[in-house]
């Protein structure tokens, strides 16, 4: 029988801590949330690998290093309301739920959204609501949010998403430019969002977050 608790500890000790993720709540969350419970059955043995894991439906589970560093840079507080876009089967939302007051998770794949809510409930997570809708719409009804996280890469972030961030709030995502990617944290002020480099990372670009082609006449 596979000892997943040992695999979680190994993941944290060899992938997360060495990547300068030091905030105790994040370490504790990644040690306690069963990553294998949020992947398809056939992928359970691969759940703790140090790379993005394809979980179907054009979704990936971000590699542990990338997720840990993104959450560390966002500095999520216990009173935060968080919007988690592209939640897949719910792993990222379960981890964030350990850090925040509440999480609104959005998934555009209807079957995956239902599955995510079931998996979250099955593992005792009660402060996450999973919504089925277009990721580019976000969930304005439940906002504005202290923090927004994207579980995949972007080339551009729609204004409709940035509008759902509180002034003083943070947004974290991976920007892809060709084959190269960097994670950036955006800080919202009254005059708009200022982006700052966080670390190098890569992931597939989420549908709807591609850069619009510009045509010259």
pLDDT digits (tens, 9 = 90+) for 78-120: 999 999 999 999 999 999 999 999 999 999 999 999 999 999 9
| Rounded CA separation 210/204 (Å) | 11
Task: Report the alpha-carbon distance of residue 120 to residue 115 in Å, rounded.
Answer: 9
Closest CA to 36 of 67, 66, 6, 76: 6
Question: Which tokens sit at 35?
Answer: 């990553």
pLDDT tens-place string over residues 203-215? 999 999 998 755 4
Task: Specify the DSSP class assigned to residue 211.
Answer: P
User: Rounded to two decimals, what is the model's pTM?
Assistant: 0.94
**Domains of the chain (ranges plus CATH)?**
4-200 (3.40.50.150)
As a whole number of angstroms, the distance between CA 171 and CA 184 comes to 8
Cβ count near 189 (within 10 Å): 10
């Amino acid at each position: 029988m596979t000892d997943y608790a040992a695999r979680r500890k190994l993941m944290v000790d060899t992938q997360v801590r060495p990547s300068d993720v030091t905030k105790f709540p994040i370490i504790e969350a990644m040690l306690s949330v069963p990553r294998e419970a949020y992947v398809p059955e056939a992928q359970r043995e691969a759940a703790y690998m140090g790379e993005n894991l394809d979980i179907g439906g054009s979704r990936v589970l971000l590699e542990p290093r990338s997720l840990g560093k993104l959450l560390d840079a966002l500095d999520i507080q216990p009173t935060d309301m968080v919007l988690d876009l592209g939640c897949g089967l719910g792993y990222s939302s379960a981890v964030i739920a350990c850090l925040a007051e509440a999480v609104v998770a959005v998934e555009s794949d209807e079957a995956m959204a239902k599955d995510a809510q079931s998996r979250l409930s099955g593992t005792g997570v009660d402060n996450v609501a999973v919504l089925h809708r277009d990721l580019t719409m976000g969930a304005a009804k439940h906002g504005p949010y202290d923090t927004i996280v994207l579980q995949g890469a972007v080339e551009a972030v729609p204004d409709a998403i940035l509008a759902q961030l509180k002034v003083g709030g943070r947004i974290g995502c991976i920007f892809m430019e060709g084959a190269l990617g960097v994670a950036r944290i955006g800080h919202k002020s009254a005059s708009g969002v200022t982006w700052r480099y966080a670390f190098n990372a890569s992931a597939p670009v989420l549908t709807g977050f591609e850069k619009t082609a510009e045509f010259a006449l």
